[in-house]
């Protein structure tokens, strides 16, 4: 045994010592004492369907897994076809049998994660008029209480909504939006009761304490009250799961009036009031194009008026600053966005004037307004800062001197105040919440995240590497490890990535990750192209015909970890969720040798079929991201070349865990189901390919704060099991 093998062997022994469930004797028959046989995997039937498209032909032998009545299944999962349900149940049973030896470890990590949560936690109250609004938990509760109390006092609590009572006797319950009316006499809240993101909106009379009749059905969950508290506006969700219309009705009930209908199925809708309550805004946008329509706050029944008509590849969002508009936009080649201002009565682009000019490489992520200040959040080289600007144009910043951290602007709950709120954390440091006086520049610490079981940040090391990509770009990699974990290639690594839609991955604190890191894992986040971690161009450089940069960046991050002795090939677990599932699916096909295991959470892996099905909720809105394979042959061929489902072939795949939710409208259950069904027969390795479908949830897994931890514990137990090839020890 050479030195490297000896080190790896020692590290594995240490890991097993920290993981009693994996160090115990192999699975044995309790009657005969013999080792148990490996469970037999389900074999999915093949029903080949040939699809001809743009002169190309493909065959899908597992198309039968998609329920033709999927729209109804989203709203009532019990309606799913019997053969599909039976196969999902078989897959769940097989995974449970294969991973049975990890149950003690899953339970141990669940208890650890639960022990790091302050069970009677509460948010910092947010002042609004005569009240302070906040959420809190009772010990043992899965869901929060939404509360308020008189401003400046600690007594007089009023419980506005008990989400535990709302969830009683339901397998799934998720509160979407909550909002008090401007006069504070009404309280609106939305609930998704099946995980399909089809919400019902309720309005509670806070004077009588009664929930008003005539709840609003088939909504996205987003709503707002008019400034005079007499009307409620909401977004409709149609039968295909898309937002398509905005309605208005008297807040206490009455006939609904259509306010706006969006004819472009590729657009999302948003709704809200400006910070100063002067206007009601309707936002229409996809990943690259946007438009805003306005309704005067003092005329809530007026017809919405377009600010600036939509132009392809131009984005803008706006808020009203008392006497003018403030607008964030990428117009005029402002790649990383700029902030402009415009007169209240003339907000069109012809009147836009730079307030904060564009600076390449400084990505302006967003802004918030109070009466005398504009606060904005910027991102540079995968880190954030907050900049404050007064009406005279003077600026100062809130910055942090750490290699990797997360600084998040929460803004203000009122307009006429100098105080904003922000939070800070890093991969080793729990979250601190501050109130910041923009005028005096004084900050007040309002809360430090408590870890009841104990946490010493000094026990952990946070580092930042820059991995060279194939074209010379440097890909940031944020690293968290225990101070005693060696950097000699012996430690297992979990490498997480996303890389789509311009979403940045912050190097933030998570108590859950400690259950891996404390067991000798190194946890790494790859800030790959496709996100906006290094600016908007970082996003634009990995979409459509450059999408493969996302995958090669992730591979470069893994190889750099190997080069720098943080990892070794075959000892890394790759994890990604949703579009991050497409990432890990693609890199599994491209470089299966790098990974011990792959965790694809609600993985978007059936790219061509999904982007060719215009009935699915996200298909038309996501053509700007991926391309349209129905009309563009070049896009079809490029997407086909990396589509995880379509590029599966005979090779030695690592252990794979795919997860999904039966009610998921974003990545439908059949994507992970089909992925597993096609992978298992062709892999040339003996590594298991496993599936978990939550039969009572959607895209975001279990709704309760403790039940959700069980999902994470399963993922992390799989990571440890994959690194140590637990199935070879468990079964004959």
Catalytic residues, by residue number, are 578, 664, 699
Contact status, residue 181 vs residue 251, Cβ threshold 8 Å: yes
Q: Which residues of 637-649 are buried (b: 16+ CB within 10 A; e: fewer)?
A: ebbeebbbbbbbe
- Exposed (0-12), middle (13-18) or buried (19+): which is 176, by Cβ within 10 Å? middle
Structure tokens that stand for 25 in this block: 């004797």
Cα atoms found within 13 Å of the Cα of residue 66, Cβ hemisphere only:
18
Contact status, residue 167 vs residue 173, Cβ threshold 8 Å: yes
Kindly give the residue spans of alpha helices, DSSP state H, lying in 612-688: 619-626, 633-642, 670-682
Strand partners, 573: 494, 597
Round to whole Å and give the CA distance between 415 and 232.
21
Contact status, residue 187 vs residue 180, Cβ threshold 8 Å: yes
Pairing of strands 158-162, 383-390: unpaired
Round to whole Å and give the CA distance between 702 and 711.
8
Residue count of the chain: 732
Round to whole Å and give the CA distance between 669 and 293.
36
Cα–Cα distances in angstroms (integers) from residue 286 to residues 16, 310, 457, 504, 666, in the given order: 48, 11, 40, 17, 15
Instruction: Centre a 10 Å sphere on the Cβ of residue 455 and count the other Cβ atoms it contains.
Output: 17
Round to whole Å and give the CA distance between 635 and 531.
21
Phi, psi of 221 (to 5 degrees): 105, -20
- Exposed (0-12), middle (13-18) or buried (19+): which is 544, by Cβ within 10 Å? middle
Round to whole Å and give the CA distance between 14 and 491.
10
Round to whole Å and give the CA distance between 368 and 556.
37
Cα–chain-centroid distance for residue 601?
A: 11
Strand partners, 409: 422
Structure tokens that stand for 298 in this block: 């003092």
Whose CA is closest to 690, among 639, 726, 643, 642? 726
């Amino acid at each position: 045994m050479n030195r490297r093998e000896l080190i790896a062997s020692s590290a594995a022994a240490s890991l097993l010592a920290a993981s009693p469930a994996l160090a115990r004797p192999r699975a044995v028959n309790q009657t005969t004492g013999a080792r148990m046989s490996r469970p037999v995997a389900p074999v999915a039937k093949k029903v080949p369907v040939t699809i001809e498209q743009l002169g190309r032909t493909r065959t899908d032998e597992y198309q039968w897994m998609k329920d033709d009545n999927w729209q109804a299944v989203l709203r009532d999962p019990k309606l799913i076809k019997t053969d599909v349900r039976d196969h999902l149940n078989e897959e769940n049973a097989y995974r449970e049998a294969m991973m049975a030896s990890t149950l003690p470890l899953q339970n141990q990590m669940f208890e650890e994660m639960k022990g790091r949560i302050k069970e009677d936690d509460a948010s910092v109250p947010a002042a609004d008029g005569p009240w302070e609004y906040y959420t809190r938990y009772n010990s043992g509760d899965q869901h929060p209480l939404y509360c308020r109390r008189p401003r400046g006092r600690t007594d007089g609590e009023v419980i506005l909504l008990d989400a535990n009572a709302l969830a009683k006797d339901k397998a799934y319950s998720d509160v979407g939006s909550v909002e008090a009316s401007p006069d504070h006499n009404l309280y609106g809240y939305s609930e998704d009761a099946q995980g399909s993101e089809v919400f019902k909106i309720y309005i509670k009379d806070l004077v009588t304490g009664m929930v008003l009749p005539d709840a609003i059905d088939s909504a996205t969950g987003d709503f707002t009250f008019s400034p005079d508290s007499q009307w409620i506006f909401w977004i409709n969700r149609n039968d295909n799961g898309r937002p398509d219309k905005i309605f208005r009705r008297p807040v206490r009930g009455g006939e609904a009036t259509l306010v706006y209908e969006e004819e472009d199925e590729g657009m999302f809708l948003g709704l809200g009031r400006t910070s100063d309550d002067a206007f009601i805004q309707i936002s229409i946008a996809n990943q690259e194009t946007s438009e805003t329509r306005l309704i005067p706050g003092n005329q809530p029944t007026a017809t919405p008026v377009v600010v600036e008509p939509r132009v392809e590849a131009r984005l803008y969002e706006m808020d009203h600053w008392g006497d003018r508009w403030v607008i964030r936009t990428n117009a005029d080649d402002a790649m990383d966005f700029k902030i402009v201002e415009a007169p209240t009565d003339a907000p069109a682009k012809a009147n836009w004037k730079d307030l904060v000019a564009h600076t390449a490489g400084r990505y302006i992520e967003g802004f918030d307004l109070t009466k005398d200040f504009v606060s904005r959040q910027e991102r540079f080289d995968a880190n954030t800062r907050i900049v404050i600007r007064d009406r005279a144009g003077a600026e100062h910043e809130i910055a942090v001197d750490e290699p990797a951290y997360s600084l998040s602007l929460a803004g203000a709950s009122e307009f006429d105040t100098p105080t904003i709120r922000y939070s800070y954390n890093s991969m080793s440091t729990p979250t601190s919440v501050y109130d910041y006086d923009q005028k005096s520049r004084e900050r007040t610490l309002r809360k430090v995240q408590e870890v009841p079981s104990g946490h010493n940040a000094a026990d952990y090391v946070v580092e930042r590497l820059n991995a060279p990509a194939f074209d010379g770009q440097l890909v940031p990699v944020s690293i968290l490890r225990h101070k005693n974990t060696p950097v000699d290639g012996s430690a297992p690594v979990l490498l997480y990535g996303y890389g789509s839609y311009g979403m940045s991955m912050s190097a933030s604190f998570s108590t859950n990750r400690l259950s891996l890191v404390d067991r000798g894992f190194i946890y790494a986040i790859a800030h790959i192209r496709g996100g906006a971690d290094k600016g908007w161009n970082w996003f634009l450089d990995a979409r459509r015909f450059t999408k493969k940069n996302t995958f090669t960046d992730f591979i470069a991050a893994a190889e750099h970890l190997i080069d720098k002795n943080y990892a070794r090939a075959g000892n890394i677990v790759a994890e990604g969720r949703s579009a991050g599932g497409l990432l890990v699916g693609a890199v599994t096909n491209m470089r299966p040798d790098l990974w011990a295991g792959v965790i694809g959470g609600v993985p978007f892996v059936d790219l061509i079929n999904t982007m060719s099905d215009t009935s699915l909720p996200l298909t038309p809105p996501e053509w700007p991201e991926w391309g349209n394979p129905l009309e563009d042959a070049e896009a079809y061929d490029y997407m086909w070349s990396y589509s995880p489902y379509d590029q599966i072939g005979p090779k030695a795949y690592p252990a794979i865990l795919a997860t999904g939710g039966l009610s998921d409208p974003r990545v439908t259950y059949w994507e992970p189901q089909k992925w597993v069904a096609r992978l298992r027969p062709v892999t040339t390795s003996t590594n298991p390919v496993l599936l978990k479908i939550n039969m009572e949830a959607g895209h975001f897994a279990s709704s309760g704060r403790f039940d959700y931890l069980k999902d994470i514990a399963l993922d992390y137990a799989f990571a440890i099991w994959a690194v140590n090839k637990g199935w070879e020890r468990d079964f004959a």
